[in-house]
Amino acid sequence: MKHEQNMLLSLTGPGQPMGALFRRYWLPILVSSELPEPDCPPVRVKILSERLLAFRDSEGKLGLIDEFCAHRGVSLWFGRNEECGLRCPYHGWKFDTTGQCVEVPSEPVESGYAQKIKLKSYPLVEAGGMFWTCLAEPHERPEFPGFEFLNLPPGHLYVSKRLQESNYAQAMEGGLDSSHVSWLHSMELHTDPLHRATKGANYQKDKAPKFEIIESEGGLLIGARRSAEPGFSYWRVTQWIMPCYQMIPPYGDNALNGHAWVPIDDANCWVWTFTWHPTRALTDEELAAMRGGHGVHVEYEPGSFRPRVNKDNDYGMDRVGQKAGKTFSGVYGVAQQDASVQESMGPIVDRTRENLVATDNAIIMARQRMLKAAVALVEKGVAPPALAPSCHAVRSASFVLPEGELFYKARSEALVAAPGVPHTSI
């Protein structure tokens, strides 16, 4: 990849082609607990290098507005959330959830001055225990996503987010790389309570998967084939959905998992993790494991969404355990292992130095689709695919097929979300 292509893929701020592309999609930005009640404290939001402020007013209305007061640029995070608006502490200017200034105390009401002042604002929608936004103009916004987990009964879904100190693209590409599971996560497949004792974990002993990748309406179907019993193949099918969503193939009766990699700025992203079961509530044991940093979730530093295990403590690197075979990489936990290798590349990896192989085809195809869409949007005015909710109503899956059968034909029904129907998993 040329340097110019690498920057085109990586940079998502205002004025950047990839930033323009991301602004055409709905993205999660907060968990519901961050805005728990009317007039609660506002929350700083940085997304796609824009600094915003989210708040819930006295009537429960949600607002996502420019962080800075239109008067002299004070951060409204210091403001008072009261009487259906956010009041700047500096001179008392007050703004409602749409960003409209409703009061300038130093100016006569009859002058109408306040009505002339309006901050930038974006929609804020609560669904699935999260708040979502789309930074496009109103006429450019697609329909709200149709992910299966947004419509499940209470107790079927667990959501977390974690700060990752790297560009979104190298984090997302880690999710598209099914071959690393047989190496980086190989020990966790047999020790982690949300993976162990499944046939799928045993099939990961084949460390040289063969890939078949199919373009879907929303993104890519990534089939990784490994040897199973004689005459059969074990398939793990990952769904990638533009611009930054992935659905991880499941193990046994364990729940389904998915990620979203949402750019904060060019050097940091939020890694959202969704765990859901279509046909039953998550058990207390599963929830305790996830909160304890098992599966694809992490434990947090107190009062933050930064993982307790992070680059400042070398991710808890255990050289003794690495040599003894307790963990292949020396880092414990699936999510922590991913963060350790992806953050080690630096804030933005230099892709001009890569030497790619056949198992990287999914990454190559995703890059090409993203780059093509971003260039078409900015240079030709061609809008990116306005993904219908049905593009999100899909599932990952794992299954065994006779050798030679095409996964996307033999088990196409397993790749579509069907209410009340169990997911397909080995």
> Token pair 């033999």 is at which residue?
410
SS3 for 335? helix
410-417 long-range contacts (CB < 8 A, ≥24 apart) are: 411/235, 411/237, 414/237, 415/221, 415/237, 415/239, 417/148, 417/278, 417/393
pTM assigned to the model: 0.95
For CATH 2.102.10.10, list the domain ranges present in the chain.
Answer: 27-133
Supply φ then ψ for residue 225, to 5 degrees: -105, 130
Q: Are 408 and 399 within 8 A, CB to CB?
A: no
Q: What token pair was written down for 305?
A: 């969404």
Question: What was the pLDDT predicted at 197?
Answer: 77
Quote the CATH superfamily of domain 148-415.
Naphthalene 1,2-dioxygenase Alpha Subunit; Chain A, domain 1 (3.90.380.10)
Q: Are 347 and 264 within 8 A, CB to CB?
A: no
Question: What was the pLDDT predicted at 66?
Answer: 98
Question: What was the pLDDT predicted at 386?
Answer: 77
Helix (H) or strand (E) holding 233: strand 232-241
Measured over the CA atoms of residue 130, residue 135, residue 138 and residue 144, the dihedral's sign is negative
Burial of 413 by CB count in 10 Å (0-12 exposed, 13-18 middle, 19+ buried)? Answer: exposed
Give every strand in the sheet of 50-56, ordered side by side: 43-47, 50-56, 62-66, 121-122
Q: Are 245 and 260 within 8 A, CB to CB?
A: yes
pLDDT tens, N- to C-terminus, the chain (426 residues): 999 999 999 999 999 999 999 999 999 999 999 999 999 999 999 999 999 999 999 999 999 999 999 999 999 999 999 999 999 999 999 999 999 999 999 999 999 999 999 999 999 999 999 999 999 999 999 999 999 999 999 999 999 999 999 999 999 999 999 899 989 999 998 888 888 778 888 888 888 899 999 999 999 999 999 999 999 999 999 999 999 999 999 999 899 999 999 999 999 999 999 999 999 999 999 999 999 999 999 999 999 999 999 999 999 999 999 999 899 999 999 999 999 999 999 999 999 999 999 999 999 999 999 999 999 999 999 989 878 999 999 999 999 999 999 999 999 999 999 999 999 999
Nearest to 362, CA basis, from 164, 181, 219: 219
Question: What was the pLDDT predicted at 202?
Answer: 85
Q: Are 132 and 245 within 8 A, CB to CB?
A: no
Question: What was the pLDDT predicted at 339?
Answer: 98
- Distance (Å, whole) CA 111 – CA 328: 69
Instruction: Give the max Cα distance, the chain.
Output: 84
Quote the CATH superfamily of domain 27-133.
Rieske [2Fe-2S] iron-sulphur domain (2.102.10.10)
Q: Are 223 and 210 within 8 A, CB to CB?
A: no
For CATH 3.90.380.10, list the domain ranges present in the chain.
Answer: 148-415
Strand 62-66 and strand 121-122: the pairing is antiparallel
Residue 154 identity (one-letter amino acid): P
